[in-house]
Structure 1
Amino acid sequence: MAEKKITSYPKEKINILFLENISDTAVKFFNESGYANVKKLAGALKEEELIKEIKNVHLLGIRSKTQLTKKVIEAASKLQAVGCFCIGTNQVDLNTATEHGIAVFNAPYSNTRSVAELVIGASIILIRRILDKDKAAHQGIWKKDASGSFELRGKTLGIIGYGNIGSQTSVLAEALGMKVIFYDVETKLPMGNATQVKTLKEMLSKSDVVTLHVPELPSTKNMINKSNLKYFKKGSILINYARGEVVELDELAKYLKEGHLSGAAVDVYPWEPEKNGDKFTTPLQGLSNVLLTPHIGGSTQEAQSNIGDDVSSKLFNYLEKGITFGSHTVPALSLPPQEGTHRILHIHKNVPGVLSEINTQLSGHKINILGQYLKTNDEIGYVVLDIDKRLSKEAVELLKEVKGTIKVRLLY
């Protein structure tokens, strides 16, 4: 059985806040680890509400709606780490989090299967024109015909962005007998018989179904637009379960109305409501053979449970062990435990001479370092030190005086 570590700060005084109805898996994880002050709220909070709520919070868990702005982060004086219980971290001001030595984690792989399955399901619904037939049946109209309905087998799936979700979708598509081609800005090792093409134009012109799996970056904003929608194969289908800003929806609606595209499935939008029940509008509403869903690509019980486990584990390992693997802000580091020591975490600006000053300060006061790791990124450095436990409190005070120090924490 693993040794149970006791943090320097009593667990009953550590405040954890989970927003946006994060899976109970996360709440259970921390409760069972001895953290009683876990608060869970169903929705996102606006900036001013979050500033009031976050002041005494040590760990924060959010999903994609909560915006962790510079103003919010600067108000969070006790915040040690943020867990994004989703794929992305674009809702967090990572630069400000880095400046304040706040570790930011996410779950880049946990909902991969859920999104990939929905892409395949949407492809079948659209290529069979199920939406038209479903609507007619609900209206009491019998509409049995094969006109405009096709099998996926033998069709070409074009994947834009061959990362975790794109490659998983590739495998499922091939299992259904589809030919898979993909476009990515980097050279990727194909799964199965998938083939990478050199240009976006080539991929669009050859694909019966095009699915997007790219991050939200300046380079991906409106990447499907007026200038390249014309390259889509006549009668093809577009699926966007990636990010809301990557498709110009007004132009997409135009090409759907004109019949150049035979269908579309969209799950993400440039603007999305803050909570369930809020009014929502998009240029795609009311169009035949358009499947609209409210950002549910990763919303399965399995995915949310997996995300809960993944991010909770990362937050826990940082809080109790100082491990930062998976962090987007604090450099990735892991130091094995040392017997008879206290562990100190030191986060500082990445400027020359900090490690030398740390060692000089400690050795000058005859404090022996029994273990030490350093890792830096462009902005900050992260040092984990194991110190003789008889001298750890003195060491903490000395480390606070080191030039460039952002944060010092006695772990245990």
Structure 2
Amino acid sequence: MNTTSQKVLIVDLMHDSISKMLIDAGFAPDYRPDISPQEVHDIIPEYDGIIVRSKLEVDKELLDKASKLKFVARAGAGIDKVDYPYLTAKGIKLVNAPEGNRDAVGEHVIGMLLSLFHNLNRGNREVKHGKWDREGNRGMELKGKTVGIFGYGFMGRSVARKLQGFECRVITYDKYKSDVDLDWVEKVDLETFFNETEILSIHVPLTSETKFLFDLDYLNQFKKLKLIVNSSRGEVLKLSAVNTLLESGTLLGAALDVLENEKINKLSSEEQAEFDKLANNLQVILSPHVAGWTFESYERINEVLVSKLVKEGLAQVR
């Protein structure tokens, strides 16, 4: 029986290995990282599969044009730009790759925590400017603190694994997972999570349920909260709430890899005001959505995606 390779459109920058991996697996890749969203809409009927990162909204309009589409592959973990219910209704497979960058995220979260606890950013800046302030940069230890991991998927579990050697208490709450698989992690109910978390690490996808879930009212339910780390999606955490708690002294610090609006040169006046407060607070660390973005994860994501596509039996269409 004759077979034809699946034609796959790649619309974002990927590690150079992607085309060879796809060809070796029996696909016919078309690597076009500079393509515009409108051009994708124009040519999508030609393709059996599409690989996306963050450039493109895989919405109803696009899916209705994709008459041959068998799968959408997301080069990363989040699928908030994919209309998953509609895609599923059309019988199109969705593959993502949280396994590819979970270690990067775990390390990044630990790095941010240690930097805040030991004043590494502030101390570095002061010494370079001729200020030698030992007492002002006295640190705190992670040991003995209670770290609450909200969301125990690939990323939350990776953070938990990285925390094993720090002799802190690790608790987790996940509405959709019934158990944990690491001996040093305690699964708790939401009330216990609110009552005992001192360091909050957020690991939830952006959905209608989680959008701005962590607003001021929600954060005020935490009884001992001193530090927030967000490496998931910016729109799950209200920045005005973070600023309010920092200004009141309730929070001692925040580490944010993601923001509500990541186009930081095109903020509204209200967004700019909140951003400026964060940027000028020495107890806040910001990074440009790079927690999962390492040289190693860049290539590993390709490996995960291609292996999943092969496992799903999508390498060829008869």
Q: TM-score category by the smaller chain? A: 0.7 to 0.9
Aligned partner of 1:27 among 8, 15, 19: 19
Partner of 1:113: 103
How far did residue 36 of structure 1 move? 5.5
The answer to whether the 8 Å contact 1:56/1:78 transfers is yes
CA distance in 2, matches of 1:31, 1:138: 50
| 2:123 and 2:137 in contact (8 A); partners too | no
Structure 2 equivalent of residue 88 of structure 1: 78
5 Å-filtered alignment, 1:167-182, equals 167-182=157-172
Paired residue type of 1:92: V
- Number of the residue aligned with 2:227: 237
Deviates more, 1:229-238 or 1:255-264: 229-238
TM-score by length of 1: 0.68
Alpha carbons of structure 1 residues 33 and 188: separation in structure 2 relative to 1, 3 Å: closer
- The corresponding residue for 1:220 is 210
User: In the TM superposition, what is the alpha-carbon distance from 1:179 to its structure 2 partner?
Assistant: 1.2
Amino acid at match of 2:289: H
RMSD: 2.6
Q: 1:158 to 1:37 in 2, by over 3 A?
A: closer
Q: 2:294 aligns with which of 300, 303, 323?
A: 300
Q: Secondary structure at the match of 2:73?
A: strand
Which residue is equivalent to 2:121? Answer: 131
The TM-score, its normalising length taken from structure 2, stands at 0.86
Instruction: Answer with 1 or 2: which has the greater Rg.
Output: 1
Q: Distance in 1 between matches of 2:197 and 2:138?
A: 17
- d(CA) in 2 for partners of 1:158, 1:50: 41
Percent identity between the two aligned chains: 28
Note if contact 1:26-1:308 (Cα within 8 Å) is conserved in structure 2. yes
Distance (whole Å) between structure 2 residues aligned to residue 52 and residue 79 of structure 1: 14
Instruction: Determine the C-alpha separation between the residues in 2 that align with 1:190 and 1:95.
Output: 29
Aligned position for 1:39: 31
Unaligned runs of 5+ in 2: none
Does the 8 Å contact 1:190/1:196 carry over to 2? Answer: no
Equivalent AA in structure 2 for residue 259 of structure 1 = G
**C-alpha deviation, 1:188, in angstroms:** 1.5
Identify the residue that residue 193 of structure 1 maps to in structure 2: 184
Bigger proportion of residues as helix: 2
Partners of 2:203 and 2:2 lie apart in 1 by: 41
Specify the alignment match of 1:49 in structure 2: 39
Kept after mapping to 2: 8 A contact 1:64/1:86: no
Relative to 1, partners in 2 of residues 1:304 and 1:147: Cα closer, same or farther, differing over 3 Å? closer
**Per-residue deviation at 1:51?**
0.8
Q: Residue 208 in 1 paired to residue 208 in 2? A: no
Whole-angstrom distance in 2 between the partners of 1:165 and 1:95: 23
Q: 1:178 to 1:74 in 2, by over 3 A?
A: same
Deviations 1:159-197 (A, max 9, x none): 111222222222221211111122222432351232222
Cα deviation for residue 249 of structure 1 reads 0.9
Give yes or no for contact 2:212–2:236 (8 Å, CA) kept in 1: yes
Following the alignment from structure 1 to structure 2, what is the Cα–Cα distance between the partners of residues 198 and 35? 46
Q: 1:211, CA displacement in angstroms?
A: 0.4
Residues 133-156 of structure 1: per-residue CA shift (max 9 Å, x gap): 223234332333365511111222
Bigger shift: residues 32-41 or 291-300: 32-41
| SS at 1:261 equivalent | coil
Q: Using a 3 Å threshold, how does the CA distance of structure 1 residues 162 and 98 change in structure 2: closer, same or farther?
A: closer
Tell me how far apart the structure 1 counterparts of residues 262 and 24 of structure 2 sit (CA, whole Å). Answer: 35
Deviation at 1:35, TM superposition (A): 5.1
Aligned counterpart in structure 2 of residue 155 of structure 1, from 126, 145, 151: 145
Q: Which has the higher contact order (CA 8 A, sep 6+)?
A: 2
For 1:90 and 1:295, the matched residues in 2 are separated by 15
Q: Which amino acid aligns with 1:236?
A: K
Residue of structure 1 in register with 2:254 after alignment: 264
| Cα deviation digits, residues 1-30 of structure 1 (max 9, x gap) | xxxxx8523x4xx54221221222221212
C-alpha deviations, 1:252-281, integer Å up to 9, x for none? Answer: 1111122211111111233334xxx96565
